[in-house]
Amino acid sequence: MIDLLRAVILGIIQGATEFLPISSSGHLVITPWLLGWPAPSLFFDTVLHWGTLLSILLVFWRDFVDIIVATLRSIFQRSLADPNARLGWFLVIGTIPAALTGLLLKDFIEALFESPRAAGVFLLVTAGLLTLSEALARRVRSQTPLEKLSLGQAVWIGASQALALAPGLSRSGITIATGLAVGLRRDVAARFSFLLGTPAFLGAGLLQLVDALSADGAEVAAQLPALVAGFVASAVVGFIAIRFMLAYLRRHTLHIFAIYCLVAGLAVIALTFLRA
């Protein structure tokens, strides 16, 4: 059972680190371990992700209305002339790799969430990917706006999202990094990354909800106040973090986040050996 204060703290961490490219899942593994708290359930983790899903919808609701309308219209018109229709289908296609990976490797991925050392190692991987993406971005002369996004670029970004199921591998980090590598501007890559997270959060949340209710609906009901507190904290902080990142990446690189992941990853790995 998780109390309200811990739920709020974890909600704040989730909301901030989901959109800052430093891995929300890694921090949700590392923080309870550092503080000696019981590890939160996967269902609680999913509710926090639903909070960040709400923050995405609040920031981009006009975009989603345009995308959904254009995508539905494209089915009847059999045309992808509308950039919003193409974007809608690219979001669907980009979600498939992560969905398949999550279903096929569900037990293996869940086991990783029990290992702070694994989260530390994957933070180092995130640091390397962010650094590499900046190096590749400097070699790209033309930068693609979102309305000119190609199917190939969307597939590459979607495939990279599948890797971010492991704790410590930042979903926003790896998808933004891949976006830079395939020729997107930083703020455009971030925008597509945040939009792409929506179906992933929704699908994962529905699966976890079914599992949790089928296992012990009474236990879920008992945790309801903490779940609501974590959800609200995650949504509010996530909203702020999205606005911050979209503004920050118009003028700044990802290097500061790479340094953070490097330092945090090394520190966590060292602590796991000291505490052994």
Of 116-120, 138-142, 155-159, 204-208, give the lowest mean pLDDT range. 138-142
Strand, coil or helix: 178 = helix
pLDDT at 44 over 90: no
Per the model's pLDDT, the better-predicted residue between 220 and 164 turns out to be 164
User: Which one of 42-51, 141-150, 165-174 scores highest in mean pLDDT?
Assistant: 165-174
Domains of the chain by residue range: 4-274
| Percent share of the chain, pLDDT over 70 | 92
Q: How far apart are CA 18 and CA 173, in angstroms?
A: 9
Quick one: tokens of 164? 């971010």
What per-residue confidence (pLDDT) applies to 46? 79
pLDDT at 213 over 70: no
Nearest by Cα to 23 from 269, 262, 267, 274? 262
Mean pLDDT, residues 77-97: 93
Q: pLDDT band for position 142 (50/70/90)?
A: low
Mean pLDDT, residues 182-188: 89
Average pLDDT, the chain: 89
Alpha carbon of residue 122 to chain centroid: 14
Strand, coil or helix: 30 = helix
Q: Which pTM value belongs to this model?
A: 0.90
